[in-house]
Structure 1
């Protein structure tokens, strides 16, 4: 059964390989990038397995939180982001950039 998770991270100097960490998160399953270092993910992995999988792309000093996301309240998100977030598990990965 799929698990819904929030993942948040801080990459600490030296290193900071954002591309590697973001790619690892995207390989967990369906995802939505809520903020620069904050993702909502649906995966077949449990929390510990997802944590350990993402840690493979991180330096020892980097920080990672993996949180069960069965329900959530959000505020001050553009309507387009809310719609995209609701649809992420229907259509697959979506990233909605901020308007220019």
Structure 2
């Protein structure tokens, strides 16, 4: 099983949170950590889980799924500079001192 952390931002007023939450809960055993941060024990990879949740979101919503088991992540609509920063620093252990 994979330890997934899922975080999202629904950008437009009147968003259908229930649809997104239902998609997250469908991935496996779950716990709501914070308002829009979830932990899921899942057989899905980060990419597979992101695709499932993404289908429940609007095109401009953002999403990140982090697989803590396999040190992997998948995201949509994250600021380009932030995405590049994460890709550059993902596996660098000394990167903790530098921040975006």
Residue pairs, 1:44-83, within 5 angstroms: 44-70=43-69
Residue 25 (1) aligns with residue 20 (2): no
Between the two proteins, the alignment pairs up a number of residues equal to 69
Gaps of 5+ in 1: 71-100
**SS in structure 2 of the partner of residue 52 of structure 1:** helix
TM-score (norm 2): 0.66
Q: Does 1:8 align with 2:18?
A: no
CA distance in 2: counterparts of 1:13 and 1:65, whole angstroms: 18
Tell me if the contact between 1:9 and 1:65 (Cα under 8 Å) persists in the aligned partners. Answer: yes
Gaps of 5+ in 2: 70-100
Give the structure with the higher percent strand: 2
Please provide the CA RMSD for this pair.
Answer: 1.0
SS in 2 for 1:53: helix
- Normalising to structure 1: TM-score of the pair? 0.66
- Between the two structures, name the one with larger relative contact order (CA 8 Å, sep ≥ 6): 1
